[in-house]
Every structure is written in structure tokens, then in C-alpha cells.
Chains A and B, each alone.
Chain A
Amino acid sequence: MDLVRLSWRNLWRSKRRTLITSLSVAGAVWMATTFLGIAEWAYNDMVGKSATMGFGHVSVAAPGYNDDPSISKRIANAESMAKAASAARGVQAVVPRVVGQGLFATARKTTGGLLLGIDPKRDTAERNLFVKKLEQGTALLGKDGKVDDGGCIIGARMAKTLQLELGSKLVWTATDVEGEIVSEVARVRGIFQTGVAEVDMGTVLLPIDKARRVLKLGPEAATILAVFNHEHRASAAVRDAVSKAVGPGVEVKTWQQTQPAMASYVQVDRASNEIFQLLIGLVVAAGILNTMLMGVLERRRELGVLLAIGMRPRRLFALVILESVWVGLLGLVLGGLLVLPWAYFLYSTGIDLSGMMTEQLEVGGVVFDMTLHLRLADAHYFVIPFAVFCLTIGAALYPALKAARLEPIESLRVLD
């Protein structure tokens, strides 16, 4: 007898049971997708924000820069290195940046902070959180598309403290590579607000060429190369690829290495999430097992007949397993259909929790986005169905075993 066809037919003999079981499977798909998707989105968002704020997903810097930052630790031929790195696998963009400490003064007050030299043409809103969070003004690009050499972008808090507006002038002072103290004037062209008080108070962005000139770094130099990948999970692989592309003499690190606080948060959260999913998975499996078991027991009589007429127990086992395969596939399809509109909704609109929260939550200097969105990594599209499918088959093992072990005579008893 063709087991495959039989198992398929058996399914439809009790539509109700099949439906209920496949709904359980679908439910598992829904849960997995929702949890993993929301968490994935949150991590990607945070890591992305962190990357755009400073070091990218992968960063290239002079040796020792990470442990002890200083302006003299720079990459002299950053531009050519950037070109080489962009060709590496998985790299979406490479952006050179100059980073240093500076003093910022107006006629009223002086304050200290971080100087960030960026190339406005490459450091767009997508790559650069400060540009993205511009509330007023523009990002150092004039109307003709040319870089505004004498401009700067500052944080909202600094603007308030130093009483600066768009167009005001700011004098910045820093130490150049030769140890000399240098000053320059810059006009405020844009004001950003990230929500992190310290960042909004102490960060000033300048055109990278200006920074290179004034700090005597060299026309092609940069403090770091921020490398962006498509997928934050791929960072380790991208690091290896970039390392090969740029050669020795520099340190290439992933965001986990440069932002350990963020990395640990993601790890802990992910770990607890996974434990939770596992446990829920077990519960769902128990449910599936239950229904399948009942299905077997319900059909005790006919299964007993099959055994009595000579079907090998092994085949009966296979039959039940095959039934579960069908149910699994059905459940996956059902689950996929059910989850699609929900996932799309979460992906595009999301659930806005900001009403519930009055304070900004911050991890490692990056503010949480209060809207829940969903995002699935490429891996998830395979992992979720696979895991749920395995769960289903696993749950079917016991009932299948039970079926195979039936005693034909006992099963044939009319009265239950």
C-alpha cells in the first residue's frame, strides 16, 4: 500500500483533528516569527544606530586606537584603503572619519567635546545618525551640492548652552598631530538631536577635508574607516574579508569588539529570548503530541485491523510519521499565510509603545526606539519553518511508537 497516499487520506478523514493540529503548528510559526522578528529588529536597529554614531559595523583603525584613542593614531592612506575595503564581500559602504577631542568656544562660553570629521557626500543620513537626526539646517552640503568647508553641525544641547543658532560662529580648538594647538572658526549649518544628553552636548561634526588640513593629518588620512554591512550578524565575516582587503598595519574590529556594552546587552537579551522560545516550543510540542496521540488512539480499531491483516509495525510507525509530516507542512503553510499580514503590519507600521514610556531607555549610549517593528534575518526564513517542522515530527514520535506497539486483538475489541 502506498503509505504516502494513505497518510494523506487519513488526514482528511478527520478534518477537525487535522485542522486543530495544524493550527497548533501554525501557532508555533506565529510565535516564533513574532518573537524572533521583534527582537531581531530591535538588535539591528540598536546596532545600526551605534554603528552610524561612530564606528560602523566593522571598523578599521590604526593599531592601538581602540584601547587608547588619540589624534596621532591615524590611517595615512585611508582613501585607498577605503576603496579596497568596499570591494570586500558583504560590505555595503565604507566611510572615512576623523575623530578627535576639541574645545568649542563662543563669546559667551567654552565647552569641550568630540570632533567628528565626516565626508557629507558619503556620510549620508543612512550612515550617520547625526545627519539623520538633524532637526534644523542641512548637513554641510551647500545648495550646489558642494561641501560647505566652513560649516559645522552641533547638538541641540550644545546650541542651547553656547547660545548658538544656525549661522552663528563657533571657534574650535584642538591639538594637531604635531602636538600644536590649533583653532578654526566654523559656522553652524545644522543642529541635531539624538536624545542622548552627553552626545547632544558634546559632539561637533566638520567636513573631513577641513579637519585633515587643520589637524595636519594628510589629505588622504582618517582616524577610522567605518564599514557598514547589510546584515549586522555578518560582521565577523565582513571583518575577515575587509582585513584581507586592506592588508596589515591596521586593526579591523567588529562592533562587538568596539562596543562591548552593546554586544553584551544583545547577547543577554538574545539568550533569554532563546530560552523562552525553547520553553514555549516545548509546550507547543506537547500540544501537538497530545493531539496526535489522541488521533492514534481514536483510530485504534482501524490501525489494529491494519496490523491484523499483516502490516508491519514499522510501516505503521512510518504511516503515523508521514501523517505528521503532512500536518506539519499544512501547518507551515497555514502559519505562513496567517503570519504574513501580521508580519507586514509590524514591518511597516509597527506597534508604537512610546505612549507607554515617558523616559528614554538607553543602552551603550544608543536610545531605544519605542516602536516595535519586525524584521527577519535571512537565516530566519529557513530556521523558523525548519525548527517548527522538526518540532512537529518530534512530537509525532511517541504517538507513532504507540501505534506501532498496538496489540491487534486488543484494538479490535468493539467496545472501548
Chain B
Amino acid sequence: MYGRLLKLAARNVSRKPMRSLVTSGAMALAAAVMIFFGAIMIGYIEHMKTSALAMETAHVQIHAKGYRDEPDLHTLMRDSGKIIEKLRESGVSATERLYGFALAAHDKQSAGVMLRGIDAEHEKNVTLLHTAVGQGKWLDESDPRGVVVGKKVARRLGLKVGDELIVVSQAADGATADDLLTVRGIFRGVSARLDAAGVVMRQQAFRELLAVHEGSHEIAIRSTAGFDAPITNVVEAAKAAAGKHEVLGWPKLQPALAEMLRTSDAQLGFMLFIAYLAVVTVVFNATLMSVFERMREFGVLKSLGVTPLQIFFVVVAESLAMAVIAAVLALGLGVGLSMAFADGIDLSASVGDINFNGMVIPPVLSPKLGVGIAVGPIVTLVIMVMLAAVYPALKAALVRPVDAVRGR
């Protein structure tokens, strides 16, 4: 019996092709919008995440207790070397960093900067900092006194690639330390801190300058998984290696980013809701119209013995059929759009870098492709459509044959 009803539903749909197509089209458009928009939003968040984490933070960091509250040259992890060895044995990538405040001067200008001594060889296994050089070149072991400076530092001091930079500071042994460094490169926008005061140098040069011969201030760890993966096992490994030092996962290091990710789902959900509200009205509207148009027909069917339930089923099945068509269309359209813009919509021509919570993000919107992205919108579409069809279906099912045949 239901097979016949389905056939009836299918025929009803095809009887008014234009109308059915328009309704399906509206559904499809909504779903496609959500797929594409969802892909862009998620892609954007991912991009933010990667930009923020991949440049400096990585997955997990270790510091000596108290360092984060009050950074000081002397608050070191003296056993950092051992910790790193242990970490590498457990299969993650790790690198250490040293930080020290100094006065930097060039020509007649001077400014306070934060020197950052990095282990260039291992840093590139943990972050993408080496790709962030906007002008000039990255550090090189043939140039021990070559440094890469933040873009605002360069601006304040009037630095160009190749310029000399004097740095003066107080070394760990109390002596006044000074040295002449060469600007090998200038970063593009990375993070508020690096841009404003960052001078990245080779660790050996830092150690010699500031007389910090062992230990470091910060160990950064990246697991082999991407930045989407959960980090509990990385944190465990770090804690095991770190002993009494402080271990923090990236959500604690960048709490605002973590928060934003949490809420972006909610935000997307909200937009989905709105989009579907629109679709529901369309479907409701259309279904109701078509039902009322065919009241006479339903009346006849009922008087011929078709049960209300069966009529209900038919109406719902019609909507479902359109939803299925819509789903297919939407999938094609949504995925198509996402693929068309796979390289991202680059807004950097009209929009500068975005500064969000101290992270600097280049303005490129790229959609993230994936089956998961499409599933949500489509399933929701089908459910919404069916819900929207309920009232009209009821109306049809409950029609009084006598009234209907008489034409109301």
C-alpha cells in the first residue's frame, strides 16, 4: 500500500514541475548556503587556529614556575636539555627558547625589545616561524649575529634588511652586555608581541650575550598530529618529562582562541537556525498552498476510503521527495562552491591583517572541505522540511470529504 502511496506522492510532485522545482530550489539554496558558509566559517577558524598556534605557541609549553607571571632572565629551567631529550624520545617535537629584555638602537633611535634566542634547527619542527619572514632572510648558522625583527620594531627604529642593530642589556651575571647584530630579515605580521618588540636571534648568540649558559625559559612542543587534534597525550608526555615545571596546553596559553572555537559552533548553529527558519517558512508556505489547492482531491480520496494516516503520509512524502532533490542539488552546489574557492577568498587587497587577541591573522577566507561539513546542513534540511510539512499534512488528512467535494 505504501509503495502505491509513494508513487502517488512522486506523481503529485511531478504534476506541478515548476512549483516543485522552485520549492526544491529554495531548499537546496538554503542548504548549499549553509554548506558553503559553514565551510568558510570553519575554514576561517581553522586558519586562525593555525596562524595563532603554528607560529609561536605550538601545542604545549613548559615554563619554570612563576615565569609567566613575572618573566625574568633568571627564572630558568636549568634542566631543559634533559627535558627535551625525554620529550623527543616519547615521539614529539620540542624546542627551547630564551627571552631577555634589551635596549636596541639604530641611528638616533632606540627602543626596548625582547630578545628571543631560538634553536633554529629544532624550531622549524615545532613552529612555522621560519616562514613568516616578510623581507629578507631567515636565520642562518653562517651568520651567528644575524637576527630577524618584528615589523613594528623595524618601523620604530627605521631598520632595513642589512642594517646594523646595537643591543645593550644586563647579562645574567650582572655585567652590561652589548653587541652588534645584523638585520637579516623583517617579519610580516605574526603576533602583537613579536611585531612590537620581537628580535629573534640564534640561541648561541643569545647565550653568549646574556651569559645564560644552561637552561632556557620556554620549551615548546608539537605533536605529529595537526592542530585540530586533542592534546591530552601530549600534555601527559610533557608532564612526565617536566617534573616540577609548569606545563600548559594551548587552550590555557591562548584562552581567548579556545573560547572563540567553543563559541563558533554555537554561532554557526545560530546561523543555521536562521537559515532554516527561512526554509521552513518557504516549505510550510508551499506545502500549505498545494494542500489547499488539492483539498477537493483529498476529499475525494478520503471518500474513496483512503485513511487520514495515508493522506498524511502522502503529503509528507511529497515534501520529503522535494527535500531529497534539494539535498542532492545542495550537495552539488555547496561542494562546488567550496571547491571553486578552495584557495580561499583573499581579502588582503582591501583589508589589512587582523589583530585578534594579540594574534595577527592574514585576511584569507578559505572553505574547509569535508564530508562532515555537508552532513549537518543536509540532515537538518530534511528534518526541518518534514516538520514543516506536518501542519499542512494534518490539514489534508483531517479534511471532511463532504466539505471538500463541495468545494469548501
A–B touch (CB < 8 A): the answer is yes
Q: Flag if A290 contacts B293 (CB, 8 Å).
A: no
Q: Flag if B26 contacts A276 (CB, 8 Å).
A: no
Interface string of A235-247 (1 = CB under 8 A from B): 0000000000000
A23 CB contacts on chain B under 8 angstroms: 281
Q: Which of A358-393 contact B (CB under 8 A)?
A: 358-365
Contact of A17 with B by CB under 8 A: yes
With both beta carbons as reference points, the residue of chain B lying nearest to A358 in the complex is identified as B259
Our pick among B23, B347, B357 for the contact of A361 (Cβ within 8 Å) is B357
Contact of A136 with B by CB under 8 A: no
Contact of A13 with B by CB under 8 A: no
Q: Flag if B18 contacts A67 (CB, 8 Å).
A: no
- Please judge, given known A-B contacts A290-B22, A357-B263, whether A267 and B289 are in contact too, CB under 8 Å: no
Give the A-B contact count at a CB cut-off of 8 A: 136
Q: Flag if B352 contacts A361 (CB, 8 Å).
A: no
Interface string of B334-373 (1 = CB under 8 A from A): 0000000000000100111111111000010100000000
Q: Flag if B279 contacts A283 (CB, 8 Å).
A: yes
Segment of A292-300, A305-313, A329-337 engaged in the interface with chain B: A292-300
Our pick among B255, B292, B347 for the contact of A268 (Cβ within 8 Å) is B347
A283 to B29, CA, bound (A): 7
- Please judge, given known A-B contacts A67-B155, A268-B354, whether A287 and B260 are in contact too, CB under 8 Å: no
Tell me the interface secondary structure of chain B in the complex.
helix
A24 to B281, CA, bound (A): 7
Contact of A62 with B by CB under 8 A: no
Q: Which of B263-288 contact A (CB under 8 A)?
A: 263, 266, 271, 274-275, 277-279, 281-282, 285-286, 288
- Please judge, given known A-B contacts A283-B279, A297-B19, whether A290 and B354 are in contact too, CB under 8 Å: no
B156, B274, B285 interface centre (most CB from chain A within 10 Å)? B285
Interface string of A269-297 (1 = CB under 8 A from B): 00110011001101110110111011001
Q: Flag if A263 contacts B259 (CB, 8 Å).
A: no
Q: How many residues of A contact B (CB 8 A)?
A: 48
A112 CB contacts on chain B under 8 angstroms: 112
A357 CB contacts on chain B under 8 angstroms: 259, 263
Q: Flag if A361 contacts B259 (CB, 8 Å).
A: yes
A374 to B226, CA, bound (A): 39
With both chains docked as a complex, state the minimum distance between the C-beta of A49 and any C-beta of chain B, in angstroms: 15
Interface string of B118-162 (1 = CB under 8 A from A): 000000000000000000000000000000000000011000000
Q: Flag if B289 contacts A363 (CB, 8 Å).
A: no
Interface string of B8-34 (1 = CB under 8 A from A): 000000001011001101100110010
Contact of B290 with A by CB under 8 A: yes
B363 CB contacts on chain A under 8 angstroms: 264, 268
Q: Flag if B22 contacts A359 (CB, 8 Å).
A: no
A282 to B25, CA, bound (A): 11
Q: Flag if A261 contacts B352 (CB, 8 Å).
A: yes
Q: Flag if B281 contacts A279 (CB, 8 Å).
A: no
A27 CB contacts on chain B under 8 angstroms: 277-278, 281
Q: Flag if A361 contacts B256 (CB, 8 Å).
A: yes
With both beta carbons as reference points, the residue of chain B lying nearest to A353 in the complex is identified as B263
Contact of B206 with A by CB under 8 A: no
Contact of A31 with B by CB under 8 A: yes
Q: Flag if B19 contacts A261 (CB, 8 Å).
A: no
Contact residues on B (Cβ < 8 Å of other chain), bracket? 35 or more
Contact of B40 with A by CB under 8 A: yes
Q: Flag if B274 contacts A31 (CB, 8 Å).
A: yes
A264 to B311, CA, bound (A): 55
Our pick among B37, B279, B293, B352 for the contact of A276 (Cβ within 8 Å) is B37
Q: Flag if B354 contacts A261 (CB, 8 Å).
A: yes
Q: Flag if B25 contacts A286 (CB, 8 Å).
A: yes
Q: Flag if B356 contacts A362 (CB, 8 Å).
A: yes
Our pick among B23, B271, B351, B353 for the contact of A290 (Cβ within 8 Å) is B23
Contact of A356 with B by CB under 8 A: yes
B255 CB contacts on chain A under 8 angstroms: 358-359
Our pick among A35, A68, A286, A362 for the contact of B357 (Cβ within 8 Å) is A362
Contact of A265 with B by CB under 8 A: yes
Q: Flag if A290 contacts B355 (CB, 8 Å).
A: no
Contact of A143 with B by CB under 8 A: no
Q: Flag if B354 contacts A294 (CB, 8 Å).
A: no
With both chains docked as a complex, state the minimum distance between the C-beta of B52 and any C-beta of chain A, in angstroms: 13
Q: Flag if B353 contacts A261 (CB, 8 Å).
A: yes
Our pick among A284, A290, A359 for the contact of B286 (Cβ within 8 Å) is A290
Chain B positions near chain A (C-beta within 8 angstroms) = 16, 18-19, 22-23, 25-26, 29-30, 33, 37, 40-41, 112, 155-156, 255-256, 258-260, 263, 266, 271, 274-275, 277-279, 281-282, 285-286, 288-290, 292-293, 347, 350-358, 363, 365
Q: Can you list 16 A-B contacts with CB-CB less than 8 angstroms, sorted by A residue number? A: A27-B281, A31-B278, A264-B353, A265-B354, A265-B355, A284-B281, A286-B25, A286-B26, A287-B26, A290-B289, A291-B289, A297-B16, A297-B19, A298-B289, A359-B259, A362-B356
For the complex of A and B, list the 3 residue pairs with the smallest distance between their C-beta atoms, beginning with the closest: A261-B355, A286-B26, A287-B282
